[in-house]
Structure 1
Amino acid sequence: MIKRIKRLPLYFTGLALILLLAAIICCSLTKAECFFVLNSYHSPFLDLFFSLLTNFGDGLLSILLGIVLLITKKRKKAITLLLAYAYSSLLAQILKKIFDQPRPRLYLEHLKLDYTNFVTGINLHDHHSFPSGHTTSAFAMATVLVLVHKKSKISVPCLLLATAIGYSRIYLAQHFLLDVLCGAMIGLFGALLAYNQVYIQKLFRPAKAIRRLKRLRTAEPRLQ
């Protein structure tokens, strides 16, 4: 696992820097201050752009991509992607229920702070803000694609896409920076766990491969 991560410095170093910067901002400012700083500028183009982009983190893309990989007989990649989505999404949903934090609209209303940059057409929620499920799915998918792909040239596009999806949740007033930060970490954890199980521990081998391995182990004493 460590060797594989070291071969992808662009993605993992970039991700570490982004997470570190987000953590510093969260520690330096209040939740509301972070939200206003990161959400101070809006335009019609960005409203439309982030309204569309945020849908890539709803989990459906991960499932569809996993199905496509299964159809194209890329079984290990498909299992890794679907497991990463399942692990990270399950953990995110559990944390949402446990903490049940208010989302920006409700939170700012309680503090009696005015905010007028709500994007038209976005269905705003009021509860289960922590962590961001869309961000969790986006970073789980991005990390898996980078890990299982043989070429590192997709590292930067995957990192930028996942980061943009995470920011879209703040831009659309659905989440706070802390929600997005923790969502990214959960997605990363789910992806690493799934990759380790499939590619390192090889827990999901095809039945034929398992039978072949058993025959080889049985034949070893005879050869000696």
Structure 2
Amino acid sequence: RRFLVVTALFAAPGLFAVAFTGRHELHAAINAALPVACDPLFRYGTHLADGLVPTGIAVVLLLTSTWRRFLMLGLSTAISALVVQFLKRNVFGDMLRPVEHLASMPELRLIDGVELNHHFSFPSGHSTAAYAMCLALAVLSGRVRWAGWLAVGAAFMAFSRVYLSQHFTEDILAGAFLGTVTAWAVHRWLYGQAMMDRTGLDRRPVGLLAQKK
């Protein structure tokens, strides 16, 4: 619950800004307001939401934890990734990235060393992955304090996409919503009464493989 509250607190100003400010004006204003000193932080921090990170965590859970915990993270990130790619390429395929709008934002400062993407802007895949992964980790941690910090981490990873001019604000908000809803739905399914009765999900995958041998 704390994860959702913190997420809502971060999302509310963004939603307000998107509703009452033009896309180009908002992006240019954010770009102009942020200090150059933050460039390395966001340039490297954005990679925490790359597909390799949740994949790596899922592999660790597969080797060290239970099927239920592995599936909580694995399904949350995998399903949300499939949905976001479908939306990007089949529903919102004509949505272009900020670099394609430079004519409307001539003063935009681009970050050195960042290879900018040009197409498939909406929704943000990194933002989706960040929120799906972090909400799943919040569930697995079982600690209220960690849930709040994980929500902050997800917001940081999502915002890095705007900072780097890889996405507009509405892109990351949509990704945050998609990732959060997917992880929430997976949690409701895996930890609902019907699935909690399936004790096989609380066994260790590696242990099962060892028994079969």
Inter-partner Cα distance in structure 1 for 2:54 and 2:82:
14
* Per-residue Cα deviation, 1:22-42 (whole angstroms, up to 9, x for no partner): 111100101111111222134
Matched with 2:211 is none
Structure 1 ranges of 4+ moved more than 6 A: none
Write the letter of the residue equivalent to 2:45.
L
Indicate the residue corresponding to 1:94 in structure 2.
Answer: 86
| Corresponding residue for residue 104 of structure 1 | 98
Aligned-residue CA RMSD (Å): 1.9
Gaps of 5+ in 1: 1-7, 210-224
Number of residues of Structure 1 aligned to a counterpart in Structure 2: 199
Mapped partners of 2:53, 2:6: distance in 1: 23
State which of 43, 47, 53 in structure 2 corresponds to 1:55: 47
- CA offsets per residue over residues 41-93 of structure 1, 9 Å max, x none? 34443111101100011121111101101111232111110100111111111
- Name 2:195's counterpart in structure 1: 202
Q: Is the 8 A contact 1:42 1:117 kept in 2?
A: no
Cα deviation, 1:139-184, whole Å, max 9, x if unaligned, reads 0011111123221120221011110111100000000000000000
Who wins on radius of gyration, i.e. which is larger? 1
Q: 1-side partners of 2:147 and 2:5: how far apart?
A: 10
**In 1: Cα distance, 2:199 partner to 2:113 partner:** 46
For residues 79 and 130 of structure 1, the distance between their equivalents in structure 2, rounded to whole angstroms, comes to: 27
1:75 and 2:67 matched: yes
Asked if residue 171 in structure 1 is aligned to residue 163 in structure 2, the reply is yes
For 1:31 and 1:208, how far apart are their aligned partners in 2? 46
Tell me, in whole angstroms, the C-alpha distance in 1 between the residues paired with 2:161 and 2:16: 19
Q: Residues 208 and 198 from structure 1, CA distance in 2 versus in 1: closer, same or farther, beyond 3 angstroms?
A: closer
Question: 123, 135, 141: which is aligned to 1:143?
Answer: 135
Which ranges of structure 2 fall in alignment gaps of 5 or more residues? Answer: 203-213
The answer to whether 1:126 aligns with 2:118 is yes
Cα separation, 1, equivalents of 2:197 and 2:161: 34
Query: Identity rate of aligned residues, in percent?
Result: 28
- Answer whether contact 2:79 2:182 (CA < 8 A) is retained: yes
One-letter code of the match for 2:195? K
* Match of residue 221 from structure 1: none
State the one-letter code of the partner of 2:160.
S
Give distance in 1, aligned partners of 2:69 and 2:107.
43
Paired with 1:116 and 1:108, the residues of 2 have a C-alpha distance of 7
State TM-score, norm by structure 1: 0.82
TM superposition shift of 1:11: 1.9
